[in-house]
Amino acid sequence: MTAWPIAELLPHAGEMILLDAVLEHGPEHALCIRRVPTGGLFHDADGKLPAWMGVELMAQAIAAWAGCQAKAAAEPVRLGFLLGTRHYTCNVVAFEPDSELRIEARRDFHDDGGMGVFACRIEAPGVLAEARLTVFSPPDASALFQDGTFQDGKSPPPASEPSHG
């Protein structure tokens, strides 16, 4: 386990924190754990956590890795964004209550500008989910949101209109 509580590693709060702890971490990976509760914010009516939430569990494992890297370097935890997911597969439709999920994020690529690609997997008895996630953690995320505009000075498009760059 890490010396830091999970809430100090993620830029999330309350029920949005879906991980319980970081079991281990290193320069290239993080291994996290989640005991699936019975019911919760994202659970189905039957109390199960839908398998599509595995993508968020993986994204939070990446965020926990980044948080561990920041804490070890005595730097602040930075905001990050999930840009995309490739080939998410899961052999179950939902994660059962009381199952203990082991979520691993392994860095494949990361640059100084904040772009990264991670190979991720979730394992539990009878459960295997895998994906590659692309993430972005800019050095100064606050610059993206100054005065309601993007860094290039343009306002974000209305939700009903597609953005064409």
Supply the pLDDT for residue 80: 92
Half-sphere exposure of 67 (CA within 13 A, CB side): 25
Supply the pLDDT for residue 9: 96
Contacts (Cβ under 8 Å, ≥6 apart) of 81: 135, 136, 137
Supply the pLDDT for residue 150: 53
Supply the pLDDT for residue 165: 46
Give the CA distances from residue 81 to residues 14, 38, 46, 116, 144, in Å, rounded to whole numbers and listed in that order.
Answer: 19, 28, 30, 10, 12
- Encoded tokens for 133: 């996630």
Mean pLDDT for back-to-back runs of 10 residues, the chain (165 residues)? 89 92 96 94 93 97 96 93 94 97 96 93 98 91 62 54 46
- Encoded tokens for 127: 């459960």
DSSP 79: P
Residue type, 41: L
Bridge partner list, 95: 49
Supply the pLDDT for residue 53: 97
Supply the pLDDT for residue 139: 79
Q: What angle is formed at CA 132 by the lines to CA 109 and CA 125, rounded to 5 degrees? A: 125
Supply the pLDDT for residue 2: 73
Half-sphere exposure of 53 (CA within 13 A, CB side): 19
Supply the pLDDT for residue 163: 43
